[in-house]
Amino acid sequence: MPEQRVRNEPVYLGIDGGGTKCRAVLMTAARQILGRGVSGPANPFHGLDQTIASIQNATNLAMADAGLGSDDLTDVVAGIGLAGVNLPGIYSVMAQYKHPFQHTFLTTDLEIACYGAHEGGDGAVIVCGTGSSGFSTVNGQSTVVGAHGFMFGDTCSGAWLGLEAIRAVLLAEDGLGPETQMTERVCRELGTNGVSIIERMNDAKPRDFARLAGLVFDAADCGDHVADSIVRTGASYLSALAGKLWEQNPPALSLLGGLRERMIPLLDDDIASRLTPAKNPPEIGAVLFAQHKFAELLAAA
Amino acid sequence: MPEQRVRNEPVYLGIDGGGTKCRAVLMTAARQILGRGVSGPANPFHGLDQTIASIQNATNLAMADAGLGSDDLTDVVAGIGLAGVNLPGIYSVMAQYKHPFQHTFLTTDLEIACYGAHEGGDGAVIVCGTGSSGFSTVNGQSTVVGAHGFMFGDTCSGAWLGLEAIRAVLLAEDGLGPETQMTERVCRELGTNGVSIIERMNDAKPRDFARLAGLVFDAADCGDHVADSIVRTGASYLSALAGKLWEQNPPALSLLGGLRERMIPLLDDDIASRLTPAKNPPEIGAVLFAQHKFAELLAAA
């Protein structure tokens, strides 16, 4: 079986942690997949303990899937890409995580997405899922655009779409905004209506708002002008973000994330036509990142 | 001295609790002011324990100012108006508050503002402070417009202005929005810059954002187009909100709250010219509300 690892060689773990899910993949040095795992949210900006628990859960699932036990953790070289660690304070807190692995290399979800999309070479990515952001790496120079988080930006993200839907519904309820099909859809989805929506979503996380993103696209598809205006505002932002990344002259730009398929038809034609599919998903990018960093470490030793 | 209370008559306490401050006033049955007190935030949507502590602190200060002690609390009939209690869940939690008074009558900050502005008669108010909202009472029929809170609405509130400023600064930093004078002003006010603003404001409350409202007006006054666009968007919303309240045919409409003076020149002329000054501040409105409800209670007994 090619999926067997060679003795004395490390096993590589790739972790992609976002606002809704944490994906783990275990691979051999020759990049054969040994196992996979998926767990819950892993954005340390919205909960550090939960992030660490999600990393551990996804890892344990991938280890079990690979037929490995906890004794094997010391053979693991991990690449961990997380939303939120573009913020210096969040990075330094996460860097103190007492990991059980032989080595751990921590970076942003954006960098591992870019590693995966372009096989570790130069390129750019836009990630449009629970959050939204852009990243490029060209001639050793990295650029981050957006990645400000739900409250301060993340335009066109799933969380942003859901929040805009709720705002539009409340405005319509007051007679200060146009009627919208989203009212019925949001109330059905949340099982409540009127100002009770506010209480229902008081402690809601970005992933809870992101669950409403689909109904915004659905309402827009059914001709709802308010929903259409929201998705077009989002698409304009993504197109502008892509334009900003192209200024760095990356050889390629990939759009990733859960909203990819629904957003592509809405982007400016010249932006959409230049997108290229990612070669690998972000969790495999995290493995490539770990292999690259581990090789650097060995070379320096 | 006219400020002495008549024995065996209750003392009336008026409480106006908002996102930044809690004001208390003690008055005789004949509406002579006995004492005043001001404490911290009292919006139960953003912290129940803090709200109760702020009510107690403001009350204690007003009692001391009036030369009254804790033994006198059982003579007090309180009217308490709080932001957030327009939400049914928040109202029912606050209604369980174990108050030390003879009687307590709880309602929204909007209703006491309207009671104060129009001496308990029909009328309408817009409160534009840390939050924003509108209220009218006409022929026994009450109408609330807005009051959705910081995250879901509150357009033109101090918190909204501050958040819009931060969003504009981060967008400009990415080169995805126009340069703005607010960048320097926000960074100076917060003592940080760039993405560190996000970490600095991660756990910020509406009142923390509202502290930035003044610099948005200042930048607009200095010709900054981005700031000008924000305050004009806010003013359009307030004008629309006023128009909505006029549909109820109130005999008068008053604009209250910390942003009153800065917003009036920005409102539509036909809206601004019809505003009338409030006859009393909201905390005195809370006393009028308590007197009205207490008289109803005695009449029913």
pLDDT at B293: 96
DSSP structure string for A251-264: S-EEEESTTHHHHG
Instruction: Kindly state whether A104 is in contact with chain B, defined as any CB-CB distance less than 8 angstroms.
Output: no
Count of beta carbons in the 10 Å neighbourhood of residue A176: 18
Cross-strand partners of A134: A126, A145
Which residue among B145, B152, B198 sits closest to A87, beta carbon to beta carbon?
B198
pLDDT at A46: 83
Work out the widest C-alpha separation in chain A, in whole angstroms.
69
**Residue that the structure tokens 């009692």 belong to:** B63
Residue at B286: amino acid letter:
A
Shortest Cα–Cα distance, A248 to chain B (Å): 13
| A11 three-class SS | strand
DSSP structure string for B24-56: EEEE-TT--EEEEEEES---GGG-HHHHHHHHH
What is each CA distance from A170 to A153, A183, B12, B135, B147, in whole angstroms? 21, 8, 36, 16, 10
Q: Per-domain residue ranges for chain B?
A: 3-119+279-300, 158-272
**Residue that the structure tokens 């340390």 belong to:** A44
Backbone angles phi, psi at B81, to 5 degrees: -110, 125
| Nearest partner of B96 among B136, B44, B138, judged by Cα | B44
**Are B148 and A198 inside 8 Å of each other by CB?**
yes
Query: How far apart, in whole angstroms, are the C-alpha atoms of residue B124 and residue B144?
Result: 10
**pTM, entire model:** 0.90
pLDDT at B19: 86
Look up residue A294 and give its two tokens: 């581990």
Query: How far apart, in whole angstroms, are the C-alpha atoms of residue B163 and residue B177?
Result: 15
Shortest Cα–Cα distance, B246 to chain A (Å): 13
Residues B138-187 have pLDDT tens digits of 999 999 999 898 899 899 999 999 999 999 999 999 999 999 999 999 99
pLDDT at B1: 39
Q: How many CB pairs under 8 A join A and B?
A: 80
pLDDT at B5: 62
Backbone angles phi, psi at A80, to 5 degrees: -120, 120
Instruction: Kindly state whether A171 is in contact with chain B, defined as any CB-CB distance less than 8 angstroms.
Output: yes
Which residue among A148, A175, A244 sits closest to B198, beta carbon to beta carbon?
A148
| Nearest partner of B127 among B117, B137, B119, judged by Cα | B117
pLDDT at B56: 96
Q: What is the ipTM of this complex?
A: 0.89
Query: How far apart, in whole angstroms, are the C-alpha atoms of residue B161 and residue B166?
Result: 9
With bands split at pLDDT 50, 70 and 90, how would you rate the model's confidence at B2? very low
Query: How far apart, in whole angstroms, are the C-alpha atoms of residue A104 and residue A78?
Result: 5
| Nearest partner of B66 among B29, B16, B13, judged by Cα | B13
Asked if A194 contacts A169 with a C-beta cutoff of 8 angstroms, the reply is no
Asked if A139 contacts A122 with a C-beta cutoff of 8 angstroms, the reply is yes
Shortest Cα–Cα distance, A134 to chain B (Å): 10
Tell me, yes or no, if the two domains B3-119+279-300 and B158-272 fold the same way.
yes
- Match domain A3-119+279-300 to its CATH number in 3.40.50.2300, 3.30.465.10, 3.40.50.970, 3.30.420.40: 3.30.420.40
**Are B199 and A90 inside 8 Å of each other by CB?**
yes
| B281 three-class SS | coil
pLDDT at A182: 98
By CB atoms closer than 10 A (0-12, 13-18, 19+), residue B238 is: buried
Instruction: Kindly state whether A93 is in contact with chain B, defined as any CB-CB distance less than 8 angstroms.
Output: no
CATH topology of domain A158-272: Nucleotidyltransferase; domain 5 (3.30.420)
Look up residue B222 and give its two tokens: 């200095």
Residues B4-36 have pLDDT tens digits of 666 668 999 999 998 889 999 999 999 999 999
| Average predicted confidence (pLDDT) for chain B | 94
Look up residue B278 and give its two tokens: 């409030």
User: Which stretches of chain A score pLDDT less than 50?
Assistant: 1-2
* The residue count for chain B: 301
Close Cβ partners of B247 (under 8 Å, ≥ 6 residues apart): none
pLDDT at A1: 39
Instruction: Kindly state whether B116 is in contact with chain A, defined as any CB-CB distance less than 8 angstroms.
Output: no
Query: How far apart, in whole angstroms, are the C-alpha atoms of residue A204 and residue A163?
Result: 10
Asked if A31 contacts A3 with a C-beta cutoff of 8 angstroms, the reply is no
| B97 three-class SS | coil
Shortest Cα–Cα distance, A131 to chain B (Å): 15
Instruction: Kindly state whether A166 is in contact with chain B, defined as any CB-CB distance less than 8 angstroms.
Output: yes
Residues B222-281 have pLDDT tens digits of 999 999 999 999 999 999 999 999 999 999 999 999 999 999 999 999 999 999 999 999
User: Which element (helix H / strand E) includes B238?
Assistant: helix B225-246
**Are B170 and A153 inside 8 Å of each other by CB?**
yes
**Are A152 and B163 inside 8 Å of each other by CB?**
yes
